[in-house]
Amino acid sequence: MYCVKVELKERSYPIYIGEGLLSDPSVFPLKKLDKVMIVTNSTVAEYYLKLLTDTFVKIGCQVEYVLLPDGEQYKTLESLNLIFTALLKSNHGRDTTIVALGGGVIGDVAGYAAASYQRGVRFIQVPTTLLSQVDSSVGGKTAVNHELGKNMIGAFYQPTTVVVDTLTLKTLPKREVNAGLAEVIKYGAILDHSFFEWLETHIDDLVALDLQTLQHCIGHCCQIKADVVNRDETEKGDRALLNLGHTFGHAIEAHLGYGQWLHGEAIAVGMMMAAVLSEKLGHLSFNDVARLERLLAKANLPTVSPDGMTPDDYLPHMMRDKKVLAGKLRLVLLQSLGQAYIADNTDRQLVIDAINHCSQFD
Amino acid sequence: MYCVKVELKERSYPIYIGEGLLSDPSVFPLKKLDKVMIVTNSTVAEYYLKLLTDTFVKIGCQVEYVLLPDGEQYKTLESLNLIFTALLKSNHGRDTTIVALGGGVIGDVAGYAAASYQRGVRFIQVPTTLLSQVDSSVGGKTAVNHELGKNMIGAFYQPTTVVVDTLTLKTLPKREVNAGLAEVIKYGAILDHSFFEWLETHIDDLVALDLQTLQHCIGHCCQIKADVVNRDETEKGDRALLNLGHTFGHAIEAHLGYGQWLHGEAIAVGMMMAAVLSEKLGHLSFNDVARLERLLAKANLPTVSPDGMTPDDYLPHMMRDKKVLAGKLRLVLLQSLGQAYIADNTDRQLVIDAINHCSQFD
């Protein structure tokens, strides 16, 4: 078992990463008679709800659950209210614990519910997708969507504990594993060159779901993100580096309609565009760009734009990015592989060239 | 002008109290070109929206407003969403300011919106009812109701500034002024015997809306509450004392349906029940109970249960109170007039006796 400590003073918490942790009562900060509400969806519930419930029952907890519909389109105030209704119907008090069992959507909605129910109750994250294990379960961002914008309603709210059971990746669709690897590769690219090299050596083991390799990899990513969040909890500075590829990637997701491409797939192409742009600005070598492209391809991720999508399709979405300041585009670019920076006011024609470079033409 | 400072380290803020402050640009922490969203309802808007808008325009702000339907029954997630929609439609970013212009409902909903919009934006309170001036605008509690419970969904979120214009009380219905006086009397009863005595002397001036007396009274109440909040921001301890009468009072509101009795009216009866129970436990004298009853009556507040409401109508609601721990009722009771305490596990029959004592039988 691997343990990463997220240091945020009185709101510090541990992330436990290991094989079979869903069945290990010792990693959960619960005791006899504690009331617990598990928030999950029907897909995840089928595999893991009974297993986790049994673990909590072994501790002596009173366990209930609420099922949310599965999918990003249900990351809404209505789903949030389903959780509140379940809690109130069973008289859960301020001493209750909400447990998120699932991917990023479940974690975001359940976390915001925990932040809001009676103005804040205890929250445990049990992320079951690679993406949520390395990204959304670290850092305390919780949110639901509004019809006019993604993640517009939420709170910064830290969990008490995060429990990552690597076995859950065995039942995850391959495409979602790969999408998670896009965020893994991102950590290497923005902040850690030696981790990037480690990934070049171990990418096949990761794709093949070797659990020891995955455990090391997830632990390392959580450590990187924990360090960043520690320096910048509410995203005033450094934390923005975590958005490498996201400004381009969000444009792909928004243009295609959310749910067509997975988030990680769009981010993979976005990172390629950021890398090509960084090369055009004289930072990266051609060889560095090729290394990133090779690594993404080995993780079965796309490295070129969706069919027919042009710079004109990207730019309007990109200008709506939360990083835009005073109408000027701000992008995360690479100084080198392992070192990202924020670029203000990048030449618009170079951005268009980079998008074109990563597009498929017949 | 009276100024109370609420001390919460980097989240400290001032409360300004005075006559005509809605027209005084100097008390608002806003500058030229700031975007402002005023949240109010049609009743309050008719009297004060133009006045406040003019003040902000004078500063050079871009001012918009959103009207919520008037009444406690609209303190819901749906009303919250009206605010988010208004903000998103006009592209308000993280640097926007939400201003609550109205009573407790407006303050609670607008405050929770400010806590949640893009995970937190600036918030200014302009309370226009006596209740919100002495209570809900101090301390950072924000919330909406759920159909199964009051204030069950919310956040602790501090405003940047609170501006109390005593002139607004001149347009407030008398019944609401009196309901506000219930909370004023509560401060004396729980924490400040000499303020209780001051109230016994000045209650007629307060009922008659003498502005100088009101300004002193509001300032003193804010100071008492600010001190309590300072000691215990997130209600782990002392802050619970502010709930004197609230466990009984919420049961009245829930049983009758919200909006039948005003909050302060229900709290007045709840305080009587707590006082009677304290007398049965040997703390208060009969004379102390009578003093409280007399003071409430002078403020034209009820001191007995609604017609026909029995202990069986109270208890299920009371067990859903946020103070309930491990299924046990916890009540705020009085050691003496001016000194409250938390009683765990009070004898159920005594609670029933106290409710019966304050009920009207034919």
Flag if A80 and B77 touch (Cβ within 8 Å). Answer: yes
Model confidence at A310, pLDDT cuts 50, 70, 90, reads very high
Flag if B88 and A33 touch (Cβ within 8 Å). Answer: no
Does the pLDDT value for residue B244 go beyond 90? Answer: yes
Q: State how far the Cα of B132 lies from the Cα of B108, in Å rounded to an integer.
A: 10
Q: Does residue B358 contact residue B303 with C-beta atoms inside 8 Å?
A: yes
Contacts of A290 (CB under 8 A, 6+ apart): none
In the chain, the amino acid numbered A348 is R
Q: State how far the Cα of B121 lies from the Cα of B203, in Å rounded to an integer.
A: 39
Which residue would you say has higher pLDDT here, B25 or B234? B25
Q: Is B3 at the interface with chain A, CB within 8 A? A: no
Residues of B in contact with A328 (CB under 8 A): none
Backbone angles phi, psi at A17, to 5 degrees: -130, 125
In the chain, the amino acid numbered B325 is L
DSSP H or E stretch at residue A164: strand A161-165
The one catalytic residue among B122, B186, B243, B293:
B243
Domain ranges for chain A: 2-171, 174-357
Q: How many CB atoms lie within 10 A of CB A342?
A: 14
Please give the positions of A annotated as active site: 119, 141, 183, 225, 235, 239, 243, 246, 250, 263
Does the pLDDT value for residue A238 go beyond 90? Answer: no
Q: State how far the Cα of B213 lies from the Cα of B211, in Å rounded to an integer.
A: 5
Q: What is the mean pLDDT of residues A217-223?
A: 96
Distances (CA, A) of B227 to A246, A284, B107, B221, B222: 45, 57, 21, 10, 8
Q: Is B154 at the interface with chain A, CB within 8 A? A: yes
Model confidence at B281, pLDDT cuts 50, 70, 90, reads very high
CATH fit for domain B2-170, picks 3.40.50.2020, 3.40.630.30, 3.40.50.1970, 3.30.1490.20: 3.40.50.1970
pLDDT value for B352? 96
Q: State how far the Cα of B42 lies from the Cα of B73, in Å rounded to an integer.
A: 15
Q: State how far the Cα of A19 lies from the Cα of A133, in Å rounded to an integer.
A: 13
pLDDT value for B251? 94
Q: What is the mean pLDDT of residues B184-203?
A: 97
Residue B211, both tokens: 């502005």
Q: Which CATH architecture has domain A174-357?
A: Up-down Bundle (1.20)
Q: What share of chain A is helix, strand, coil (3-state, %, to 5)?
A: 50, 20, 30
Transcribe B265-276 into DSSP letters: HHHHHHHHHHHH
Q: Is A110 at the interface with chain B, CB within 8 A? A: no
Query: How far A147 CA lies from chain B's nearest CA (Å)?
Result: 8
Residue B299, both tokens: 């403020």
The one catalytic residue among B92, B239, B255, B317:
B239
Query: What's the DSSP call for residue B69?
Result: P
Model confidence at A239, pLDDT cuts 50, 70, 90, reads confident
| Number of residues that this document lists for chain B | 362
Q: Does residue B65 contact residue B106 with C-beta atoms inside 8 Å?
A: no
CATH fold group of domain A2-171: Rossmann fold (3.40.50)
Smallest Cβ–Cβ distance between A118 and the set B88, B117, B152 belongs to B152
Does the pLDDT value for residue A235 go beyond 70? Answer: no
| Closest among B163, B159, B156 to B133, alpha carbons compared | B163
Residues of A in contact with B324 (CB under 8 A): 93
Write out residues 122-151 of A within 8 Å (CB-CB) of B: 141, 143, 146, 148-149
Give per-residue pLDDT as tens, B287-304.
Answer: 999 999 999 999 999 999
Give per-residue pLDDT as tens, B310-345.
Answer: 999 999 999 877 677 767 888 999 999 999 999 988
Flag if A115 and B154 touch (Cβ within 8 Å). Answer: no
Does the pLDDT value for residue A236 go beyond 80? Answer: no
The percentage of residues in chain A with a pLDDT greater than 90, rounded to a whole number, is 83
The interface pTM score, or ipTM, of the predicted complex is 0.88
Q: State how far the Cα of A84 lies from the Cα of A65, in Å rounded to an integer.
A: 12
Q: Which ranges of chain B does DSSP label H, i.e. alpha helix?
A: 42-59, 77-89, 104-116, 130-131, 174-191, 193-207, 211-231, 246-256, 263-280, 286-298, 311-318, 348-357
pLDDT value for B235? 64
Q: Is B155 at the interface with chain A, CB within 8 A? A: yes
Q: Which residue's structure tokens are 């596990």? A: B345
Which residue would you say has higher pLDDT here, A85 or B321? A85
Does the pLDDT value for residue B362 go beyond 60? Answer: no
Model confidence at A230, pLDDT cuts 50, 70, 90, reads confident
Give per-residue pLDDT as tens, A121-168.
Answer: 999 999 999 999 998 778 899 999 999 888 999 999 999 999 999 999
Does the pLDDT value for residue B206 go beyond 90? Answer: yes
